[in-house]
Amino acid sequence: MSLATEVAERIDRMRERYHELNALVSDPDIIARQDEWRGYLKEHSRIETILSVHDRLVTIEGDIEGAQMLQEETDDPEESEWLASEIAEMEGQIGDLEARLRRLLIPPDERDDKDVIVEIRSGAGGDEASLFAADLFRMYSRYAELRGWKVEVMSQSPTDLGGLRETIVSISGDDVYRHLKYESGVHRVQRVPDTESGGRIHTSTATVVVLPEAEEVDLEIDPSDLEIDTYTASGPGGQHVNKTESAVRITHLPSGLVVTCQDEKSQHRNRAQAMKVLRSRLLDMMERERQAELSRERKSQVGTGDRSERIRTFNYPQNRVTDHRIGLTLHRLDAILEGDLDELVDALRDSEEAELLERVATG
């Protein structure tokens, strides 16, 4: 059975929706509501592309059928050979179009173009875990720099040895979540610490959480659900530290989520940063609850973001990085730590896409 037959009903529904959207995107009342209009415009563009590829596929299938009929009827060997060549070329186009259509039919992740908040925390391993957390922070910062993204530190808890107990950063740019969404989970490092005289390999961990940044239009928070405290900042900061109550702690009472921010000297700025983190965490929590409800018994190999799951191992002695979700091992740890993450990210995206394509094919 051809792909065109498999997805015929879905295409018919899309064609009906496309006609509805034609009216919606040209409605003056909707155009005046810019956020709503842009949403319809984006959906219209996606469906238009799908229908265009599908219609081209149907046309070529018809051309192949016509060429095959002519080939059966002709007595001219040269014409038959030419028709066979034409049929082979069109069948190649069919394969390419089917592959493209399958990808287009994958439900888009509406969060892919969002900026993100990345939270990195040291795990098991004491000082070595904090140093590893600092290495991960540098790796993502370098990756962001290579892609032309902006990195802003929102909160950071350094250690005396140069490690990080915790760091929260905002990363903004083009399609940031699309590239970083696979990083959530437990990262493990195996190496000989600088302080280890016996040369023994230690294993430490750090956790990474990647949250699509939530805007106010994505989630409305009732001010009465918030408890906001201010206190004096602690840690590096010169004369300003312990002089003014610039640090902010926000507690979301219904969920129990607590966010603190003290890196800025302005209480207003710290409050804005803390609200940004809180909004993103709440939206992430709601999305996780929704996904759990939709598929309690199914776990995606990639993209689950399960933070209790060990997703990757960094082995220094072997210059090796292994992603356990897809069984990929690369012997170029040094380059990866310098921000060269594209091969890992592409492999994870390909794996997720293959799983989604299989679901599309099976309905």
Set out the domains of the chain in order of their start, with CATH numbers: 3-104 (1.20.58), 116-214+306-361 (3.30.70.1660), 223-293 (3.30.160.20)
CA dist 272 and 264 (Å) reads 10
Alpha-carbon torsion (103, 109, 111, 115), positive or negative:
negative
Q: List alpha helices for the chain, DSSP H.
A: 3-6, 8-25, 28-32, 34-73, 77-104, 127-146, 176-180, 267-294, 333-337, 342-361
Smallest Cα–Cα separation from 249: which of 278, 286, 211? 278
Helix axes 77-104, 342-361, angle to 10 degrees: 100
Strand 150-158's sheet: what is its strand order?
Answer: 150-158, 164-172, 116-122, 202-212, 185-191, 310-315, 320-323, 328-330
CA pair distance 77, 346, nearest whole angstrom: 47
pLDDT of the residue at 50:
92
The ranges of the chain with pLDDT < 50 are 1, 236-242, 294, 296-307
Give yes or no for a contact between 317 and 66, defined as CB atoms under 8 angstroms apart.
no
Q: What is the per-residue pLDDT across 205-216, written as a single tens digit (0 to 9) for each?
A: 999 999 888 766
What's the chain's Rg over C-alpha atoms?
A: 26
Q: What is the pLDDT of residue 241?
A: 46
pLDDT at 221: 83
Which pLDDT does position 266 carry in this prediction? 79
> What phi and psi values does residue 106 have, to the nearest 5 degrees?
-65, 125
Q: Pseudo-torsion of CA 273, 279, 281, 282, nearest 10°?
A: 160
Confidence (pLDDT) at 361: 58
Q: What is the spatial distance between Cα 260 and Cα 228, in angstroms, rounded to a whole number? A: 10
CA distance 32 to 20: 18
Q: What angle do the packed helices 77-104 and 34-73 form, to 10 degrees?
A: 160
